[in-house]
Structure 1
């Protein structure tokens, strides 16, 4: 089988190589094809992969190309991990918002909307290329903002594309560990959008053990998401939030901490990864940079007094490459899997997963996966403040999708103004104009 990575010069690509080359993996990839618009980045990553391959019995054969047609043709799986505008674009996403007193974060709020605007034309181009050259392929989307980008690609590829993220399944596993069980022993209810969701039940033998965990502040404090958001707040919710809800529930603190830092996250990564790519890239420098990157992830969400720091498993394992491997394995005849994926709201026969959201919306829910495909599970009703937040964010996302399709600055303005993290239509216009003037891809997406 052929696996193609769009964004093959990306820093985390060697983790995928490690996962698919693991002799314990049930899936065998014959060719790992790396596509990137920057051949120097591919060269750097291939040097790291060569170092890893020396330690492996049966490393996967790696090819690379700057030709999208060559990369996609014959692929069985396509990973979309593109970063349009590079790390420089990310730093502008963050900085423009912060300078206007608004949250500056890669996937949440105005930074995520700007990232989407410049990415959507390329995501649609990739989807059309796959449709024409590899219609049998499954597309697994990592590109952020993952739910929004997956929704755009579904317009062309339908159910053959799904979005993945390791944070929801990581949350479920942390809760399961605190409950004293293994993931295969539990069933669970999780619902939301990408980077915006809640674990609402965790059942063992038909009995929901999540209320016991939430009611015990000492057990709850062992779960990173509860420490980030506050044990008392999680207890008031009666559910475990995805860690990215920190930016919605504690917006003021997030902005203050990011502004007080010497660098934004984008600037930090630009410096760290810039050193790696521009120096003498190799396995040792990559491993060191990777550890620093993972350990500092969402650093603004953790109080300096939090002695626990980031979950060790997350630092060591990253996570998303294993989720992708499990998904591919289940689709190709290996052990079936239950995972949390970004799928269409209309994926249930005769019903919407979340009735209050549009049929074509992408939502994040538990799914079972086997050789027949991806099967979303029914979720309990979403109500109150959780539903309100989902509806408002999804409305903003769908305005961005329309703005991209119609090249409409007016719709983009409404998308920015309607997002819950932007509190003024005046600021929304300033955000949009700044992004259009500083990021060529945003201007081009809206007609120049």
Structure 2
């Protein structure tokens, strides 16, 4: 089986490759193709991944290419992890948000829209080419904002695509760890949107074990729920995704994002240091030294994640990077591949087309829900109606996502403004107009044809 990673020259690729190699035999994995347009960075990351494969001894070939057609030929699964606009784009987004006095978090609110402005056309082009070259292949999208990108792809007619985020399975993994169980022994009921989801039950042998966990201060302190005050979690009565911090503590989040360098600037500097070190070492000639430098970098990056948001600083390593199961988004994707390939059935949280799973959202909305996955495909678990206390926020943000997806696909400035006005973290025409115009001005390549 061939697996392609689009964005394979990115600094997170070695972590994904490391996890994939552990499952190579179960997946009958023969090739991991790293595809990237960055001619300088791809050979460095490719050398690290080749060394990981050599150490693993599984015989999986690591190949590199800048050709989409070459990467997609004969492929079974494609993982998209690109960051259109690069780290500098993230910095630009954050500074524009800071200028307008709104949240500068890369997947939520104004900056989430800016990232979607670049991510949607990029991932859609890859998805359409994949459909032409390998129509039976699955595309797993990790490029943020994952839910909104998945919505746009679905609106554009892409069907063999699923959005994946490691934070969707937070409750399932945490309760399993507390009880010393395999996560698949825990039946979680997840509902909502990407980075805006809730888990109302986590059953083991038919008994909901979530209430007792939420009543335990030590449990809360040892999970991503520690970013919230315990009374806030218990008032909700369910597991709440850690990104809800930005809604429930917006005043603190704004204060934290307004001080010192932005997170994008921190990551940009960390990445520069890593790449300089890999060049100095000559990664292709000294891969062992290069790998040591790489994992030192990972430790520094994880330790600094969201450092300017003190309440949430220790929640997790990095967005879509590390999770409670130790493999982060790679673990979710690889378990999904195993199930689709016929190695049993799993229950996992994914971003998929609703199809009636959540009764108070549209059938064609992309939602984040628990799904059953096996060789027959991916089936969302019916949720019914959401509890009112959670439904109002989910429905508000989903309204924004519908408008934002249509705005980017149609290159419609007026609709983009309407989308940001609808977002609970903006809610202002004057702000939305200034933000949209600044984002379009900053990204002329992606803004071509907008009206």
> Do the aligned partners of 1:20 and 1:28 also contact (CA within 8 Å) in 2?
no
Shift of 1:216: 3.6
Shift of 1:438: 1.6
Structure 2: stretches of 5+ with no match in the other structure: 280-289
> Do the aligned partners of 1:294 and 1:315 also contact (CA within 8 Å) in 2?
no
> Do the aligned partners of 2:90 and 2:264 also contact (CA within 8 Å) in 1?
yes
Aligned in 2, Cα 1:309/1:237: closer, same or farther, shift over 3 Å? Answer: closer
Residue 446 of structure 1 aligns to a residue whose secondary structure is: coil
Partner Cα separation in structure 2 for residue 224 and residue 298 of structure 1: 13
Report what 2:383 is aligned to: 379
Shift of 1:423: 3.3
Aligned in 2, Cα 1:445/1:215: closer, same or farther, shift over 3 Å? Answer: farther
Partner Cα separation in structure 1 for residue 388 and residue 30 of structure 2: 49
Deviates more, 1:233-242 or 1:17-26: 17-26
Report what 1:259 is aligned to: 258
1:324 aligns with 2:324: no
User: Residues 33-432 of structure 1: matches in 2 within 5 Å?
Assistant: 33-156=33-156, 158-179=158-179, 181-225=181-225, 227-260=226-259, 262-281=260-279, 282-303=290-311, 310=316, 314=323, 317-346=326-355, 352-432=356-436
Q: Provide Cα deviations, 1:78-108, integer angstroms capped at 9, x if missing partner.
A: 1111111011101111121122110001101
Shift of 1:300: 4.0
Aligned in 2, Cα 1:186/1:279: closer, same or farther, shift over 3 Å? Answer: closer
> Do the aligned partners of 1:224 and 1:311 also contact (CA within 8 Å) in 2?
no
Report what 2:285 is aligned to: none
Deviates more, 1:295-304 or 1:400-409: 295-304
Report what 1:349 is aligned to: none
Shift of 1:165: 0.7
Q: Provide Cα deviations, 1:32-55, integer angstroms capped at 9, x if missing partner.
A: 111111111211101211332342
Deviates more, 1:357-366 or 1:314-323: 314-323
Partner Cα separation in structure 2 for residue 134 and residue 224 of structure 1: 38
Residue 355 of structure 1 aligns to a residue whose secondary structure is: coil
Shift of 1:196: 0.7
Shift of 1:311: 8.0
Shift of 1:309: 6.8
Aligned in 2, Cα 1:233/1:334: closer, same or farther, shift over 3 Å? Answer: same
Shift of 1:380: 4.4
Partner Cα separation in structure 2 for residue 275 and residue 129 of structure 1: 35
Partner Cα separation in structure 1 for residue 252 and residue 6 of structure 2: 35
Partner Cα separation in structure 2 for residue 27 and residue 377 of structure 1: 25
Shift of 1:277: 2.0
Residue 55 of structure 1 aligns to a residue whose secondary structure is: helix
Shift of 1:230: 1.0
Aligned in 2, Cα 1:170/1:296: closer, same or farther, shift over 3 Å? Answer: farther
Shift of 1:217: 3.5
Residue 172 of structure 1 aligns to a residue whose secondary structure is: helix
Partner Cα separation in structure 2 for residue 251 and residue 109 of structure 1: 11
Deviates more, 1:186-195 or 1:279-288: 279-288
Q: TM-score, normalised by structure 2?
A: 0.91
Aligned in 2, Cα 1:318/1:329: closer, same or farther, shift over 3 Å? Answer: closer
Deviates more, 1:3-12 or 1:352-361: 352-361
Partner Cα separation in structure 1 for residue 65 and residue 428 of structure 2: 45
Partner Cα separation in structure 1 for residue 316 and residue 72 of structure 2: 37
> Do the aligned partners of 1:357 and 1:391 also contact (CA within 8 Å) in 2?
yes
Aligned in 2, Cα 1:232/1:338: closer, same or farther, shift over 3 Å? Answer: same
Aligned in 2, Cα 1:412/1:10: closer, same or farther, shift over 3 Å? Answer: same
Aligned in 2, Cα 1:332/1:181: closer, same or farther, shift over 3 Å? Answer: closer
Partner Cα separation in structure 1 for residue 349 and residue 373 of structure 2: 10
Q: Kindly report the root-mean-square deviation, in angstroms, between the aligned alpha carbons of the 2 structures.
A: 2.2
Partner Cα separation in structure 1 for residue 430 and residue 23 of structure 2: 56
> Do the aligned partners of 2:189 and 2:370 also contact (CA within 8 Å) in 1?
yes
Q: Provide Cα deviations, 1:106-138, integer angstroms capped at 9, x if missing partner.
A: 101100101101221122211211111110101
Superposed structure 1 runs of 4+ greater than 6 Å apart: none
Partner Cα separation in structure 1 for residue 164 and residue 107 of structure 2: 14
Partner Cα separation in structure 2 for residue 15 and residue 317 of structure 1: 11
> Do the aligned partners of 2:150 and 2:351 also contact (CA within 8 Å) in 1?
yes
